[in-house]
Amino acid sequence: MEPEFGQWLIFGLFTVFTIGGGLGTVTSRNLFHSALWLILSLFGVAGFFVLLAAPFLAAIQVLVYIGAIVVLIIFAIMLTRRLMGLREAPNSQWPYGLIGAAITFALIVLGLVLASTGESPLLVSQPLSEITGESLRDLGIALVDLNQYVLPFIVASLLLEAAMVGAIVIAREDE
């Protein structure tokens, strides 16, 4: 098995994980099961980062999104036991969602085709092939620079902390 075929096979596997997990997330009737499907989808995205030779981003994807955000969602679900026992009526609006998803998919494919042929007026001035490690290194330095993005990072951290405290308060109201 040559490396090209193996890479395509792994790419296809991660694609199935990502899309299948996303579909399971939005179609599952149980909130807890949706969170588990979200974990599968986010693992697929982490796999894409590995294929793009960005293991740090893959590790961040797993640690931050799966290890923190999804675990926080599952924690909130478990604290609010009332939601686990509720049975909801079948959703009759799924055809509209399917049409919306098909239109969105068609627009994404159209954008990718236009971008690959170079005919899109929305393309950036620098082709993707000319982006070097220097520009990625500059982006990394800008994200952790103490003078630029520290305040938004702190605000996002406080927002996540407030969400966790809010989930605990809501769960503790009945006790």
Q: Give one DSSP letter per residue of 4-27, joined into a string.
A: HHHHHHHHHHHHHHHHHHHHHHHH
Residue by residue, pLDDT tens for the chain (175 residues) are 455 777 888 888 999 999 999 999 999 888 888 888 999 999 999 999 888 888 888 888 888 888 888 888 877 777 776 655 555 566 777 788 889 888 988 887 887 777 677 665 555 555 555 556 666 677 667 666 666 666 677 777 888 888 888 777 777 765 5
At the second CATH level, the architecture of 1-87 is Up-down Bundle (1.20)
* Distance (Å, whole) CA 9 – CA 1: 10
In the chain, DSSP assigns E strands to none
Residue at 10: amino acid letter: I
pLDDT on residue 9: 84
